[in-house]
Amino acid sequence: MSTMLTIHIYSFSYTKGGIPPDPTGHGGGFVFDCRVLPNPGREEAYKSLTGMSEAVARYMAGRAEVRAYWERVLGLVLDAAEAFRARGFEHLSVAFGCTGGQHRSVYFAERLRRSLEEKGYACTVVHRDLPEGLG
């Protein structure tokens, strides 16, 4: 019997509760620390925005270190997703953490969702620490 793989994607703040628990119980997946990347939240023009805004997306995509990070993340996740699907697994978790859970982690979570859905994967996305009203 074939099973459907769902990829659960999370964004979170390391300072507001740390790594999210795995509600599926499968206990596997990835946690990527986006704090190594430039933080748009430190610049006045982006403070009130989120990783879902076009301005933040342009800020992130305009940096070579962000592009390189993205390529590595995407490669790892796609390899795992293919292996999990081939083995009949139902869940894969991918979490992105940053300082406030508003800019970098949200940007990567949304970008990964779009890329995976374009390849036919079912995804869920939870922005655990995104301030209310900014989503």
pLDDT in tens, 62-100: 999 999 999 999 999 999 999 999 999 999 999 999 999
Report how far apart the first and last C-alpha atoms of the chain are (Å, whole number): 38
- Rounded to whole angstroms, the Cα distance separating 108 from 85 reads 22
**Residue 135 domain-assigned (yes or no):** no
**Which parts of the chain have pLDDT scores under 50?**
1
Q: What is the pTM of this model?
A: 0.93
**Residue 1 domain-assigned (yes or no):** no
**Residue 134 domain-assigned (yes or no):** no
pLDDT at 129: 94
Other beta carbons within 10 angstroms of residue 89's beta carbon come to 16
pLDDT at 133: 58
**Residue 60 domain-assigned (yes or no):** yes
CA 87 from centre of chain: 23
**Domain count for the chain:** 1
pLDDT at 1: 37
Domain with 37 in it: 6-127
pLDDT at 28: 76
